[in-house]
Structure 1
Amino acid sequence: MFTVRDALKIGELKRGKLVSGSLGLDNPISTVSVIEVPHATKWLKGNELFISAFYAILDNVESQLELIKNMYKYKAAGLVICHMGIWLKRLDQEVLDLSNELGVPIIIAPPNVAYADIIVPLLDELLKRETNKLKYCLKVQNELEKLILGGKEIHDLVIMLGDTINKGIAVFDVNNICISETNIPKEDIEILKNTARECLEMSFSRKDKNIEDNIFHIRTLNGKQYLFYSIVADKDYYGVIVILISKNGEKTLSNESLLVVKQASIAFALMFTKKKRMEQMEDVLKRDFLADLITWNFTNEKDVIIRARNIGWNLSDKHLLIIANIDNINNISSARNETFEDTNIYLKNRVYPLVVDLVKDENKENIIGLRSDTIVILLHSDKVSEELIGRAKKLGNKIIDLSYKVNLSITVGISNIFYCVNEIPQSYNEVTKAIKIGRKIYGNRKVILYNNLGFFTLLSKLANTCEWRDIQKSMLSKLYEYDKANNTELMLTFKYLLEYEEETSKVAEKLFIHNNTVLYRKERIIEILGYNPFENPYKLNFEIALLLDKLVK
Structure 2
Amino acid sequence: MVAGQDGLDNVIRHVSVIEVPDAVRWFQGYELMITAGYSYRHSEHALVQLVEDLVCADAAALAICYSERYLGSIPECVAARANELKFPLLELPLDVKYIEIITPVMGAVINRQAQYLDSALRAHIELEHMVLKSAGPEAMVRRVAELLDVPVLLLTPSFQLRHFSSPHAADPLAGEVATDWRSALEEARPDAELGSAVLVGETNGERFAALPLGTETILLGYVLALGIAPLNAKQLLLSQCSMPLTVELLLERTRQDAVVRLQRDFFDDLFDGEMSDEVATRRANAYGMNLDGCSWVVVADIDALASQFLKAGQEQGIQKLKDGLKRLASALVDTEAEGGVVVSRSDSVVLLPRFTGV
Q: TM-score range by the shorter chain?
A: 0.7 to 0.9
Aligned counterpart in structure 1 of residue 340 of structure 2, from 357, 360, 366 = 366
Amino acid at match of 1:259: L
Q: How does 1:228-239 map to 2 (within 5 A)?
A: 229-235=210-216, 236-239=218-221
Distance 2:237 2:288 in 1: 36
Asked if 2 retains the 8 angstrom alpha-carbon contact of 1:196 and 1:240, the reply is no
Is it true that 1:329 corresponds to 2:310 in the alignment?
A: no
Q: Which residue of 2 aligns with 1:477?
A: none
Q: Relative to 1, partners in 2 of residues 1:87 and 1:215: Cα closer, same or farther, differing over 3 Å?
A: closer
Aligned counterpart in structure 2 of residue 294 of structure 1, from 244, 248, 271 = 271
Asked if 2 retains the 8 angstrom alpha-carbon contact of 1:175 and 1:353, the reply is no
Q: Which residue of 2 aligns with 1:148?
A: 131
Amino acid at match of 1:346: K
Amino acid at match of 1:269: T
Aligned counterpart in structure 2 of residue 40 of structure 1, from 23, 36, 39 = 23
Q: What's the CA shift string for 1:76-116, capped at 9, x where partnerless?
A: 21211112323331223343343334443221112322222
Q: Relative to 1, partners in 2 of residues 1:344 and 1:280: Cα closer, same or farther, differing over 3 Å?
A: farther
Percent identity of paired positions between Structure 1 and Structure 2: 24
Amino acid at match of 1:169: V
Q: Relative to 1, partners in 2 of residues 1:373 and 1:130: Cα closer, same or farther, differing over 3 Å?
A: same
Amino acid at match of 1:239: G
Distance 2:93 2:2 in 1: 13
Q: Relative to 1, partners in 2 of residues 1:85 and 1:375: Cα closer, same or farther, differing over 3 Å?
A: same
Distance 2:198 2:231 in 1: 20
Aligned counterpart in structure 1 of residue 284 of structure 2, from 304, 308, 312 = 308
Distance 1:299 1:156 in 2: 40
Asked if 1 retains the 8 angstrom alpha-carbon contact of 2:209 and 2:235, the reply is no
Distance 1:154 1:40 in 2: 48
Distance 2:20 2:35 in 1: 9
Asked if 2 retains the 8 angstrom alpha-carbon contact of 1:226 and 1:242, the reply is no
The CA deviation at 1:280 is 1.6
Amino acid at match of 1:238: L
Asked if 2 retains the 8 angstrom alpha-carbon contact of 1:158 and 1:171, the reply is yes
Q: The residue matched to 1:365 in structure 2 has which SS?
A: coil
Query: Highest relative contact order (Cα 8 Å, sep 6+), 1 or 2?
Result: 2
Q: What's the CA shift string for 1:335-391, capped at 9, x where partnerless?
A: 9x662x423321344442343233134344211111233221112256xxxx53xxx
Between structure 1 and structure 2, the one with the greater Rg is 1
Q: Which residue of 2 aligns with 1:345?
A: 319
Distance 2:161 2:75 in 1: 58
Distance 1:94 1:317 in 2: 82
Q: Which residue of 1 aligns with 2:112?
A: 129
Q: Relative to 1, partners in 2 of residues 1:240 and 1:312: Cα closer, same or farther, differing over 3 Å?
A: same
Q: How does 1:71-110 map to 2 (within 5 A)?
A: 71-110=54-93
Q: How does 1:489-500 map to 2 (within 5 A)?
A: none
Residue-pair matches, total? 347
Unaligned runs of 5+ in 1: 1-17, 246-250, 389-553
Q: Let me know the Cα RMSD of the aligned residues.
A: 3.1
Q: Which residue of 2 aligns with 1:195?
A: 180
Q: How does 1:143-542 map to 2 (within 5 A)?
A: 143-174=126-157, 178-183=161-166, 185-186=172-173, 188-189=174-175, 192=178, 195-198=180-183, 202=186, 212=196, 215-220=199-204, 225=206, 227=208, 229-235=210-216, 236-245=218-227, 255-296=232-273, 298-326=274-302, 328-330=304-306, 333=309, 339=314, 341-381=315-355, 388=358
Amino acid at match of 1:258: Q
Unaligned runs of 5+ in 2: none
Distance 2:79 2:172 in 1: 46
Q: The residue matched to 1:306 in structure 2 has which SS?
A: helix
Distance 1:168 1:73 in 2: 30
Distance 2:134 2:176 in 1: 30
Distance 1:278 1:42 in 2: 53
Q: What's the CA shift string for 1:159-191, capped at 9, x where partnerless?
A: 2111111222332222556443323634x4276
Q: The residue matched to 1:170 in structure 2 has which SS?
A: strand
Asked if 2 retains the 8 angstrom alpha-carbon contact of 1:31 and 1:123, the reply is yes
The CA deviation at 1:145 is 1.6
> Could you state the TM-score of these two structures normalised by the residue count of structure 2?
0.84
Q: The residue matched to 1:91 in structure 2 has which SS?
A: coil
Asked if 2 retains the 8 angstrom alpha-carbon contact of 1:228 and 1:240, the reply is no
Amino acid at match of 2:317: T
The CA deviation at 1:237 is 2.1
The CA deviation at 1:62 is 4.4
Amino acid at match of 1:293: L
Distance 2:242 2:328 in 1: 26
Q: The residue matched to 1:85 in structure 2 has which SS?
A: helix
Distance 1:281 1:263 in 2: 29
Asked if 1 retains the 8 angstrom alpha-carbon contact of 2:154 and 2:162, the reply is yes
> Could you state the TM-score of these two structures normalised by the residue count of structure 1?
0.56
Asked if 2 retains the 8 angstrom alpha-carbon contact of 1:199 and 1:228, the reply is no
